[in-house]
């Protein structure tokens, strides 16, 4: 009997406050254990990235932060994004010049980002066979940036759950 693997895409009606709250809490714990400063702006930017499972750009983050009466400069947001990227709390979607929260920042990992072109949702997977195949196919090449972006249509859009 073959079981269908569970989709990496979150159900459209899941309680996203839980995802966001747990991401912030984990970042807080990780920063404390790694002796990193989780400043107010770093926290606010991470929260803005986690507003959904769709990528968000730096200027949208800046607008969101400043809409609440703050007056952050673009540089401040970029620096916070760099910090979050360097420490694995977020990933960059190069094809959209935007960012997505990482659901498992505790461990260093490769990521394959599945990007739904209909609803914009991004699901992250870390497939060991994909990584092995890539290494085998590129002998002698020192791979540095190992994030792969794959576009398509998510299971929820395909089944009409987002209609
Ligand atoms: Zn969620
Ligand atoms: Zn990740
Ligand atoms: Zn979709």
Q: Does the pLDDT of residue 72 top 70, yes or no?
A: yes
- Please tell me the distance between residue 15's alpha carbon and the centre of ligand 1 in angstroms: 6
CATH of the domain at 162: 3.30.1490.190
Residue 52: CATH number of its domain:
1.10.10.10
52 lies in the same domain as 114: no
**Model pLDDT for residues 78-122, shown as the tens digit of each residue:** 999 999 999 999 999 999 999 999 999 998 898 999 999 999 999
pLDDT computed for residue 146 by the predictor: 82
| 120 shares a domain with 101 | no
Q: Provide the residue count of the chain.
A: 163
Return residues with CB closer than 5 A to ligand 2 (ion). Answer: 102, 111
Distance between Cα 1 and ligand 1 center (Å): 31
> Closest-lying ligand to the alpha carbon of 21?
1
pLDDT at residue 4, as a whole number: 58
Can you give the pLDDT at residue 163?
Answer: 53
Q: Are residues 98 and 20 in the same domain?
A: yes
Pair 89, 26 in one domain = yes
Pairing mode, if any, of strands 90-93 and 147-152? unpaired
Task: Mark whether 64 and 129 lie in a shared domain.
Answer: no
- Ligand 1 geometric centre to CA of 79 (Å): 25
Q: Give the span between the Cα atoms of 96 and 54, in whole angstroms.
A: 11
The closest of 160, 154, 145, 161 to 54, measured between CA atoms, is: 154
State the total domains in the chain. Answer: 2
- As a whole number of angstroms, the distance between CA 1 and CA 161 comes to 27
Q: Which two structure tokens, joined as six digits, stand for 96?
A: 């959209």
Strands 147-152 and 122-125: unpaired
Q: From the CA of 116, how far away is ligand 1's center (Å)? A: 15
């Amino acid at each position: 009997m073959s079981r269908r693997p569970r989709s990496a895409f979150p159900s459209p009606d899941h309680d996203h406050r839980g995802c966001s709250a747990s991401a912030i809490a984990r970042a807080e714990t990780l920063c404390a254990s790694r002796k990193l400063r989780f400043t107010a702006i770093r926290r606010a930017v991470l929260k803005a990235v986690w507003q959904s499972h769709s990528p968000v750009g730096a200027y949208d983050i800046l607008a969101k932060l400043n809409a609440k009466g703050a007056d952050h400069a673009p540089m401040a947001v970029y620096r916070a994004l760099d910090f979050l990227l360097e420490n694995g709390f977020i990933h960059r979607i190069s094809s959209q010049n935007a960012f997505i929260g990482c659901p498992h920042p505790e461990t260093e990992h490769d990521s394959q980002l599945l990007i739904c072109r209909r609803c914009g949702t991004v699901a992250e997977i870390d497939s060991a066979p994909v990584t092995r195949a890539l290494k085998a196919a590129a002998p002698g090449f020192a791979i540095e940036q190992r994030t792969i972006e794959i576009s398509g249509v998510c299971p929820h859009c395909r089944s009409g759950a987002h209609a």
